[in-house]
């Protein structure tokens, strides 16, 4: 998506709802506000904005949409583009006063439809699930294929805040995921790797997804993969293993182990999924070495300029200072342009209307 074209999300939301047969007679007005200095830095802002538009339109028009309908919208969006359905732009113009504070909740999946097909980004459901399902101090474990999730609570849940903060650091690099081939290319490479493995086990007619390959099948036939395909598959299967290990670590309140897994994930993203670029890799390494940091990795896919770390509460401020100083030394031109280089925050409940 080109810079500044956030209106595409409102158009995608309207198109999705109209294709499903919902009548939109009321428009919306409002404003979107985020943390200053982190615009376009890769912290799921596209998913958050899409959710805002969808819920606003549904609220303005009194629509009740089931989870099943949202999933169906996710799958059918491309067909509405092919059919040449006309968007009624009056639906995104104010017709009567409506005020919404855009801290909101919405049923799962539909926003993925907007990003996948209207905007051309072949992403999954992780961002949207995190926004819509999460609970403060809980780990949201998602089974994407089955559309199931579990909230994993640490031993201190309901007793205290736990000894951690979330530290974001921005590299100063900004570009949209779908404006470059990297992200969608990785998706295609994973599908190609899945095709090789599925053919090797006699299931070549299965949908070419690595989740359709068992760990045992991967181990038995991984030597058939070469170059980038071998790296992509290694990242997929090792990342799955880290997810299950992370669930165990979080449920036991083992922050050092959980942080170690975060850092391992970050390194695999760099070396096996081959995300990021020099400034972003440097920033991740600086974060990982900062005082009190349990672990650090790219935020999201790693094709934008933000990294995230889990840091001990009493050292969060010191870690911020360390990161700013070290990154200024490593990338002075980028660092000097930043109005906000770091941001410390807490975990929170899922998005909701207040």
C-alpha 117 chain-centroid distance = 17
127 carries an active-site annotation: yes
Strand (E) or helix (H) holding 149: strand 148-152
- Residue 104's pLDDT is 26
Rounded Cα gap, residues 126 and 109, in angstroms: 10
Task: Render each residue's pLDDT in the chain as its tens digit; 354 residues.
Answer: 445 566 777 777 788 778 788 899 998 887 777 666 666 666 666 667 777 777 788 888 998 875 335 434 533 433 333 333 333 323 232 333 333 222 222 233 344 444 454 445 555 567 777 777 788 999 988 887 777 888 999 998 888 888 999 999 998 887 644 444 577 889 899 999 999 999 999 999 999 999 999 999 999 999 999 999 999 999 999 999 999 999 999 999 999 999 999 999 999 999 999 988 888 999 999 999 999 999 999 986 666 688 999 999 999 999 999 999 999 999 999 998 887 889 999 998 877 666
Question: Global pTM?
Answer: 0.78
Buried b (16+ CB within 10 A) or exposed e, 261-271: bbbbbbebbbe
Tokens standing for residue 179: 């404006």
Rounded Cα gap, residues 262 and 253, in angstroms: 15
Rounded Cα gap, residues 51 and 44, in angstroms: 11
Question: Contact at 8 Å (CB) between 171 and 279?
Answer: yes
Catalytic-role residue among 69, 82, 101, 127: 127
> 339 φ, ψ to 5°?
-90, -30
| Three-class SS state of 139 | strand
- Residue 304's pLDDT is 66
- Residue 33's pLDDT is 73
């Amino acid at each position: 998506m080109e810079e500044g074209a956030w209106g595409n999300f409102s158009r995608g939301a309207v198109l999705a709802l109209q294709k499903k047969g919902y009548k939109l007679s009321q428009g919306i007005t409002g404003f979107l506000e985020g943390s200053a200095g982190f615009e376009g830095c890769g912290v799921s802002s596209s998913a958050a904005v899409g959710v805002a538009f969808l819920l606003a339109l549904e609220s303005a028009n009194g629509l009740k949409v089931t989870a099943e309908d949202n999933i169906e919208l996710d799958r059918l969006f491309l067909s509405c583009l092919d059919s040449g359905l006309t968007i009624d732009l009056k639906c995104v113009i104010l017709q009567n006063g409506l005020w919404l504070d855009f801290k909101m909740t919405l049923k799962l999946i539909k926003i993925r439809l907007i990003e996948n097909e209207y905007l051309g980004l072949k992403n999954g459901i992780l961002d949207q699930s995190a926004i819509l399902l999460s609970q403060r101090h809980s780990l949201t474990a998602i089974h994407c294929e089955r559309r199931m999730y579990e909230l994993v609570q640490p031993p201190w849940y309901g007793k205290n805040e736990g000894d951690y903060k979330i530290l974001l650091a921005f590299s100063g690099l900004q570009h949209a995921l779908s404006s470059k081939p990297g992200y969608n290319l990785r998706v295609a490479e994973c599908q190609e790797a899945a095709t090789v493995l599925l053919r090797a086990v006699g299931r070549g007619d299965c949908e070419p997804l690595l989740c359709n390959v068992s760990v045992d099948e991967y181990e038995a036939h991984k030597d058939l993969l070469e170059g980038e395909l071998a790296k992509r598959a290694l990242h997929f299967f090792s990342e799955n293993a880290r997810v299950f290990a992370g669930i165990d670590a979080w449920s036991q309140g083992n922050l050092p182990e959980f942080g170690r897994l975060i850092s391992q994930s970050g390194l695999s993203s760099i070396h096996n999924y081959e995300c990021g670029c020099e400034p972003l890799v440097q920033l991740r390494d600086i974060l990982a070495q900062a005082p009190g940091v349990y672990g650090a990795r790219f935020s999201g896919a790693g094709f934008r300029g933000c990294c995230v770390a889990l840091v001990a509460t009493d050292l969060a401020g010191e870690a911020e200072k360390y990161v700013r100083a070290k990154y200024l030394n490593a990338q002075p031109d980028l660092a000097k342009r930043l109005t906000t280089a770091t941001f410390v925050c807490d975990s929170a409940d899922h998005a909701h209307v207040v």
